[in-house]
């Protein structure tokens, strides 16, 4: 085929391309301006000033003050630091509230809290409904005097569903409970303003917004008690030891500035591309179901289940065309159960195994969307042709749970 693109990258919730402008900002700091920002000499000091500028850039994107930003190695470190710090702030409180759909960075941390802290903790995992949304009454009822911290993701990585964390943080604050949000999927994609917020901790990951992998940030609200997790030198005002990952921090700052400038594009053009892709797939392919609330969602993410087939098979066929996506099927998760997010939403196994997530970025084009719309129906049809559950129970193109033939 003429003009077939080599890679159609639609897996931006997994990681993103480092923006060329970000690379350009980083490059001088590898082998020309390699000083240690903590040094007393001018050669190192100029690097320190650049880190201060990056801190301003990150703070500006989320409406924070620069001293509220701590650079870390990744989103996971930010999550662990925030939650463990909150537990240390209230050592007598042994309850934590989170959700059933958190990223493993928070989910697995909560499962291992007892071992990490040496104390027995009670963890409430809030359920979600079929659209992936939380029930705020249930949330309020879960809070108790024993609750030390609430940790709820801002936007879900698999479905893109957005939680009302601002409102949830206000409720927590009124009860004297600290609030953390894993916002790695939200920062840079939707507007965030910490100045009007009650959120105490917010995690950022560089590589989800066109900065490199291996750098993240943690927002900690002023005057909120904080206990460092990585203890060492006086870097980050003693809040995170270890010589700064200078180049990546500069890259993260640059990426945040770009994200700010592209916020309109992300929420306008990218959203339109996503909608065009989603509506196209749902209309062209029978027995395709959108997972996640239609409106309360990131502008770049779509998660669709194709019934009666298995996700890994779909991904490998897409791969033949250079299309990069991911799936919530068991076979792609490395476990034997499909995605915990889709199961928590009550997506039937028949559909969870055949789920595909496509996540766009400002680098995607209309041609790429059309290319996927062109290839996907054939792939799904081929796999369904092979599936014992497709034609045996359903003749024709309708099939599935809604089929009038039953």
Partner 1 sequence: MWEYTDKVRDHFMNPRNVGEIPDADGIGEVGSLACGDALKLFFKLGPDKKIADAKFKTFGCASAVASSSALTEMIKGLTLEEAEKITNDDIADYLGGLPKEKMHCSVMGREALEAAIANYRGLPIPMAQGEVVCECFGVTDQEIRRAIVENKLKTVEEITNYTKAGGGCGRCHEQLEEILREQRHEIREEPVAETGKRLTNIQKIKMIEDVFEREIRPALRKDGGDIELVDLDGDFVTVALRGACGTCKKSRLTLKEYVEKKLREQVLDSLIVEEER
Shortest Cβ distance from residue 333 to partner 1 (Å)? 10
The nearer residue to partner 1, 56 or 312, going by C-beta atoms, is 312
Bridge partner list, 219: 69, 202
Residues 325-344 that bind partner 1 (CB under 8 A): 329-332, 334-338
The alpha carbon torsion through 71, 73, 77, 78 (nearest 10 deg) reads 30
The nearer residue to partner 1, 16 or 355, going by C-beta atoms, is 355
Residue 51: name the closest of 31, 66, 65, 73 by CA.
Answer: 66
Give the separation between CA 301 and CA 159, rounded to whole angstroms.
7
Instruction: Choose, by CB under 8 A, the member of 88, 171, 312, 381 that binds partner 1.
Output: 312
Q: β-strand 326-327 against 355-359: which pairing, if any?
A: antiparallel
Counting contacts by CB under 8 A, is residue 349 touching partner 1? yes
Counting contacts by CB under 8 A, is residue 350 touching partner 1? yes
Instruction: Choose, by CB under 8 A, the member of 3, 118, 388, 404 that binds partner 1.
Output: 388
Give the separation between CA 203 and CA 70, rounded to whole angstroms.
10
Q: What is the DSSP string of 16-79?
A: -PPPHHHHHHHTHHHHTS---TT-SSHHHHHHHHHHHHHHHHHHHHTT--GGGEEEES-HHHHH
The two structure tokens encoding residue 254: 């640059």
Shortest Cβ distance from residue 42 to partner 1 (Å)? 47
Give the separation between CA 173 and CA 175, rounded to whole angstroms.
5
Shortest Cβ distance from residue 317 to partner 1 (Å)? 8
The nearer residue to partner 1, 80 or 332, going by C-beta atoms, is 332
Shortest Cβ distance from residue 394 to partner 1 (Å)? 13
Active-site annotation holder among 247, 256, 331, 405:
331
Instruction: Choose, by CB under 8 A, the member of 283, 385, 398, 402 that binds partner 1.
Output: 385
Residues 127-166 that bind partner 1 (CB under 8 A): none
Residue carrying structure tokens 């779509």? 302
Counting contacts by CB under 8 A, is residue 386 touching partner 1? yes
Counting contacts by CB under 8 A, is residue 213 touching partner 1? no
Counting contacts by CB under 8 A, is residue 397 touching partner 1? no
The nearer residue to partner 1, 161 or 341, going by C-beta atoms, is 341
Backbone φ and ψ for 29, nearest 5 degrees, come out as -90, 0
Give the separation between CA 298 and CA 201, rounded to whole angstroms.
21
Give the separation between CA 128 and CA 339, rounded to whole angstroms.
14
Counting contacts by CB under 8 A, is residue 286 touching partner 1? no
Counting contacts by CB under 8 A, is residue 15 touching partner 1? no
Shortest Cβ distance from residue 132 to partner 1 (Å)? 21
Counting contacts by CB under 8 A, is residue 308 touching partner 1? yes
Instruction: Choose, by CB under 8 A, the member of 133, 241, 389, 403 that binds partner 1.
Output: 389
Angle at 44 between CA 39 and CA 50, to 5 degrees: 120
Q: Are the beta carbons of 149 and 96 closer than 8 angstroms?
A: yes
User: Whole-angstrom distance between the N-terminal and C-terminal Cα of the chain?
Assistant: 41
Shortest Cβ distance from residue 321 to partner 1 (Å)? 12
Counting contacts by CB under 8 A, is residue 316 touching partner 1? yes
The nearer residue to partner 1, 64 or 344, going by C-beta atoms, is 344
Residue 32: name the closest of 255, 257, 250, 252 by CA.
Answer: 250
Q: What is the DSSP string of 64-80?
A: --GGGEEEES-HHHHHH
Instruction: Choose, by CB under 8 A, the member of 77, 310, 355, 375 that binds partner 1.
Output: 310
Active site residue 331: yes
Shortest Cβ distance from residue 118 to partner 1 (Å)? 14
The catalytic residues are 331
**Interface with partner 1 (CB under 8 A):** 308-310, 312-313, 316-317, 320, 329-332, 334-338, 349-350, 353, 385-389, 392
């Amino acid at each position: 085929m003429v003009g077939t693109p080599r890679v159609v990258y639609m897996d931006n919730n997994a990681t993103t391309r480092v923006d060329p402008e970000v690379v350009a900002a980083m490059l001088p700091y590898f082998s020309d301006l390699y000083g240690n920002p903590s040094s007393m000499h001018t050669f190192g000091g100029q690097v320190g000033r650049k880190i201060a500028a990056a801190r301003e850039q990150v703070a500006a994107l989320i409406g924070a003050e620069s001293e509220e930003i701590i650079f870390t190695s990744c989103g996971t470190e930010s999550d662990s630091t925030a939650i463990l710090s909150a537990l240390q702030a209230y050592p007598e409180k042994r309850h934590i509230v989170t959700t059933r759909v958190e990223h493993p960075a928070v989910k697995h941390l909560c499962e291992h809290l007892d071992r990490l802290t040496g104390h027995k903790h009670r963890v409430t995992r809030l359920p979600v409904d079929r659209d992936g949304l939380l029930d705020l009454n249930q949330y309020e009822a879960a809070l108790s005097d024993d609750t030390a911290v609430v940790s709820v993701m801002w936007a879900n990585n698999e479905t893109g569903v957005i939680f009302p964390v601002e409102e949830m943080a206000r409720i927590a604050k009124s009860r004297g409970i600290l609030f953390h949000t894993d916002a790695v999927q939200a920062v840079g994609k939707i507007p965030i303003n910490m100045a009007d917020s009650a959120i105490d901790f917010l995690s950022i990951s560089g590589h989800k917004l066109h900065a490199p992998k291996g750098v993240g940030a943690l927002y900690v609200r002023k005057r909120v008690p904080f206990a460092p997790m990585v203890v060492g030198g006086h870097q980050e005002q003693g809040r995170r030891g270890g010589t700064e990952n200078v180049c990546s921090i500069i890259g993260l700052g640059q990426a945040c500035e770009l994200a700010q400038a592209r916020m309109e594009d992300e929420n306008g053009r990218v959203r339109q591309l996503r909608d065009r892709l989603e509506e196209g797939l749902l209309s062209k392919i029978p027995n395709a179901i959108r997972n996640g609330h239609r409106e309360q969602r990131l502008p770049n993410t779509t998660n669709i289940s194709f019934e009666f087939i298995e996700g890994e098979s779909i991904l490998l066929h897409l791969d033949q065309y250079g299309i990069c996506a991911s799936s919530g099927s068991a076979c792609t998760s490395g476990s034997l159960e499909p995605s915990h997010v889709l199961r928590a939403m009550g997506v039937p196994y028949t559909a969870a195994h055949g789920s595909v997530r496509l996540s766009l970025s400002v680098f995607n084009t209309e041609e790429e969307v059309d290319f996927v719309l062109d290839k996907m129906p054939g792939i799904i049809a081929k796999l369904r042709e092979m599936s014992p559950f497709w034609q045996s129970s359903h003749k024709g193109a309708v099939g599935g749970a809604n089929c009038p033939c039953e």
